[in-house]
Amino acid sequence: MAAPRVIVVGAGPAGTRAAEVLVAAGLRPLVIDEAADNGGQIYRRQPAGFRRRAEALYGTEAGRARAVHGVFSALRGRIEHWPQSLAWQLRDGALQVERGGRAHRLEFDRIILATGATDRLLPIPGWTRPGAFSLGAAQIALKAQACAIGRRVVFLGSGPLLYLVAAQYVKAGATVAAVLDTAPASARRAALPLMASRPSLLVKGAALLWRLKRAGVPVHHGVTPLRIEGESRVTGVVFRDSTGRERRLEGDAVGMGWHLRAESQLADLAGCAFDFDPVSRQWLPRIDVDGRSSVDGVYLAGDGVRLAGADGAELGGRLAALAVLQDLGLPAPAGVDAAALRRGLARMERFRQGLAIAFPWPGELIAALPDETLVCRCEAITAGQLRRGATTLEAPEMNRAKAFTRVGMGRCQGRFCGIAGAEILSAARGEPMQAAGRIRSAAPVKPLPVAIELETP
């Protein structure tokens, strides 16, 4: 009998750990990733020729990053690795991949999707100006290019990454104008009981705040962002502070983000069922405790489904691989304990719920955005156009609004406007956010070259 063909999409912490377990069980999985090197976004490796040590790049997570990189290096030769490869469609038991300008159709017995996440964004006036970047972008500029996104950077958003990136900028010698957190200070106290499930992370968070304070970086809680100023580029940020006072900060760059948004397009194309997750206020693929999706043969792990962060992704990757082995009738490798992995994920799930309380998604700010705010960056569709779609044109949900207004119809396929768009549409119709649904994914997952060469049979 031929060995079962298992594909892992994504070479971040979840994909790496999944591949590790599969290899330990005697399989030779194919690992596909868009990046030139493994590590995913969180443990993204700097290009060849860069010399900073892991401690400089990953801070307190250097040990974990080294471990994940080490595991992947040890797998070389025992897996097939396709870097710089775009998995652009998944259906009917075949994955469509573009690699080096050539099209490939890959059949599989089982597939693990470990496709990660991006920043979750809310639009504010001016957020398309040069100098406005996502928080993740601010971190990648530093990690992978040893650059700051500006000379004087404002960090805006909410969530642990907001403080982490600001502190990393301070440490790297960049000037941080301020940290603007939309969450009120009181929210964190309410979240403490749940967040106590991971005390070490609470300590790390406190250390970040202390570092910012020591560097003299102002931290404002409970802000309402009003606009990013500047015509041809960012010149400042205007916000209302928690006392209601309108303030302006000078700066030439903004790093903004509100936690994570799952990259779930391949799961959607494969036909996986999705549910609305009230914690993260987004639609996530439905999985069982180990990561089996609703579609036979399709498994999910990491931030593309659980949003439990890098540590959780490692656990989820291992669990999904164990589920694959079990479903193939193969024994689990020694030393990988499914019950312990599940317990670990349950603890992280409590912490995630705490985070959502401590750093809530400010949906009400989005609902109140001025009509002229660009919501869809790709198609330059405004909040007002979307509201007209929801009311005058009677679009009850996002796909209908997309058809009428082109919101989410552009190059990024709604990655950066879909969630905010659902807030605006549902608010305009006076309905809960989940009534607005989610933009259905369409192939290709990312832009595909018309000049692609066909596979020769």
Partner 1 sequence: MAMGGAGPLLQRLDELARPAVTLAVDGQVVTALEGDTVLTAVLLHGAVLRQSEFGDGPRAGFCLMGACQDCWVWTEQGTRLRACSTPVTPGLRIVTLEVPWPRLG
Partner 2 sequence: MASVNQSDVLILGGGLMGAATAFFLRQRGVSVTLLERGLCGQQASGVNFGNVRRQGRFLPQLPLANRARLLWSRLPTLLGEDVEFLPTGHLRVAYHPEQVAMMEAYRDGARDYGLDLEIIGGNAARDRFPWLSSEVLGGSFSVEDGHANPRLVAPAFARAAKRDGARIVEDCDVIAIERESDGFRLESADGEIWRAPVLQVSAGAWGGRIAEAFGEPVPIIARGPQMGVTEPVPYALHPVLGVTTKTIGEVIYMRQVTRGNIVFGGTGHGPADLDTRRAKVMPEITLQQFAQLRRMVPAVGQLRIIRTWSGVEGYLRDDRPVMGPSGKVPGLFYAFGFCGHGFQLGPGVGEVMAELIATGSTTTPLGPFHIGRFA
Q: What is the DSSP string of 384-403?
A: HHHHHHHTTT---SHHHHHH
How distant, in Å, are the alpha carbons of 21, 175, 252 from that of 338?
11, 45, 48
Query: What minimum distance in Å lies between the beta carbon of 310 and partner 2?
Result: 30
Q: Which of 113, 72, 12, 65 is nearest to 323 (CA)?
A: 113
Contact call for residues 224 and 182 (beta carbons, < 8 A): yes
Q: Which of 280, 225, 211 is nearest to 254 (CA)?
A: 225
**Alpha-carbon gap, residue 156 to 259, rounded angstroms:** 12
Query: Could you say which residues in the range 342-401 bind partner 2, by CB under 8 A?
Result: 393-394, 396, 400
Structure-token match 């990561």, residue found: 291
**Alpha-carbon gap, residue 312 to 116, rounded angstroms:** 12
Q: Which of 92, 48, 73, 97 is nearest to 455 (CA)?
A: 97
Q: Which stretch binds partner 1 (CB under 8 A): 227-235, 293-301, 387-395, 432-440?
A: 227-235
Q: Which residue among 53, 200, 451, 457 contacts partner 2 (CB under 8 A)?
A: 451
Q: Is 335 in the site for partner 1 (CB under 8 A)?
A: no
In the shown chain, the binding pattern of residues 254 to 293 toward partner 2, with x for contact by CB under 8 A and - for none, equals ----------------------------------------
Structure-token match 């100006």, residue found: 129
Query: What minimum distance in Å lies between the beta carbon of 425 and partner 2?
Result: 14
DSSP lists the bridge partners of residue 220 as 180
The greatest distance separating any two alpha carbons of the chain, rounded to the nearest whole angstrom, comes to 71
Ramachandran region, residue 42 (left: φ > 0; alpha: ψ -120 to 50; beta: rest) = alpha
Q: Which stretch binds partner 2 (CB under 8 A): 186-194, 290-298, 364-372, 405-413?
A: 405-413
Instruction: Report helix, strand or coil for 257.
Output: strand
Contact call for residues 181 and 205 (beta carbons, < 8 A): no
Which entry of partner 2, partner 1, none binds 377, CB below 5 to 8 A by partner kind? partner 1
Which entry of partner 1, partner 2, none binds 454, CB below 5 to 8 A by partner kind? partner 2
Which entry of partner 1, partner 2, none binds 12, CB below 5 to 8 A by partner kind? none
Query: What minimum distance in Å lies between the beta carbon of 408 and partner 2?
Result: 10
In the shown chain, the binding pattern of residues 404 to 433 toward partner 1, with x for contact by CB under 8 A and - for none, equals ------xxx--xx-----------------
- For the record, the structure tokens of 299 come out as 């498994």
In the shown chain, the binding pattern of residues 104 to 143 toward partner 1, with x for contact by CB under 8 A and - for none, equals --------------xx--------xxxxxxx-xx--xxx-
Q: Which residue among 25, 174, 176, 267 contacts partner 1 (CB under 8 A)?
A: 174
Which entry of partner 1, partner 2, none binds 105, CB below 5 to 8 A by partner kind? partner 2
Q: Which stretch binds partner 1 (CB under 8 A): 147-155, 238-246, 325-333, 428-436?
A: 147-155
Total Cβ atoms within 10 A of residue 329: 7
Q: Is 435 in the site for partner 2 (CB under 8 A)?
A: no
Q: Is 151 in the site for partner 2 (CB under 8 A)?
A: no
Contact call for residues 174 and 274 (beta carbons, < 8 A): no
Provide the binding-site residues for partner 1, judged by CB under 8 A.
34-36, 41, 46-52, 118-119, 128-134, 136-137, 140-142, 144-152, 172-174, 230-236, 250-253, 263, 374, 377-380, 410-412, 415-416, 446-447, 449
